[in-house]
Amino acid sequence: MSDEKRKPWYIGERAEALAGLFLLDLHPDYLGKPTSGHALYDFLLTFSRPDKSSVTVAVEIKGTDRPLRDPQRLMLSRSKLEAMNKSNTPFLIVVVDVKTNAVGFNWASSLRDRDGTVRMVSHTRCDLRLRRNTPEEIATLRREIVGFAQSIL
C-alpha cells in the first residue's frame, strides 16, 4: 500500500482488512504483517505441503474506490516491480474495491509478456489480468501455492 500516498487513508486500511479476510480463505499456516514500514510486501503467508516442507508467499495489496477491471491498471514504482520480479519468493498481488468489497488477484509474474519483459504502460503503470474471488479460483490458487516449489525443482 506504500505506493498510493495520494489516496485517502481509509482506502488502504479497508483494502488491507478485506484482503486479510480473502487471504484467510486460503487457509495458510501463517499469515503475518511486516514489523517494518519498509518491507517489500504487505503480508507474508506460509503453507505446508504434503511432504511437510513449506511454501512462503509474499502479498502486495492494492486498494481502489473504483470498480475492478480486467485488465486492472496498477501504479507500482519501477524499483518495487523489479524487486518483486527478481524475488525468489512468489508475489501475489491482491486488488480490492473498497466500495463493493470485490477482490481480484493474480501473480506478479503475470505482469510479464511472453518474452519476459515487464509490460509497462508508462514509468509506473502496469496492467494485471485479474482472477476473481470465487471458491473455484481460491481452490486453484491454493493448489498453485502448494505446488509452487515442486514446479521449480
Closest to 131 measured CA to CA, from 96, 113, 149, 104:
104
- How sure is the predictor about 152, in pLDDT bands with cuts at 50, 70 and 90? very low
Q: Cβ–Cβ contacts within 10 Å for residue 43, how many? A: 21
Residue 48 domain-assigned? yes
Domain count, the chain: 1
Q: Could you tell me the pTM of the whole model?
A: 0.85
- pLDDT, one tens digit per residue, over 46-86 is 999 888 899 999 999 999 999 999 888 887 877 788 888 88
Q: What CATH number is attached to the domain comprising 45? A: 3.40.1350.10
Kindly give, in sequence order, each residue whose CB lies less than 8 Å from that of residue 4, ignoring residues fewer than 6 positions away. Answer: 11, 12, 62, 63, 75
Residue 2 domain-assigned? no
- pLDDT at site 43: 96
Residue 1 domain-assigned? no
Grid cell, residue 17, equals: 482488512
The span from the CA of 88 to the CA of 84, in Å, is 9
Residue 40 domain-assigned? yes
Residue 3 domain-assigned? no
Instruction: Quote the domain boundaries for residue 146.
Output: 9-152
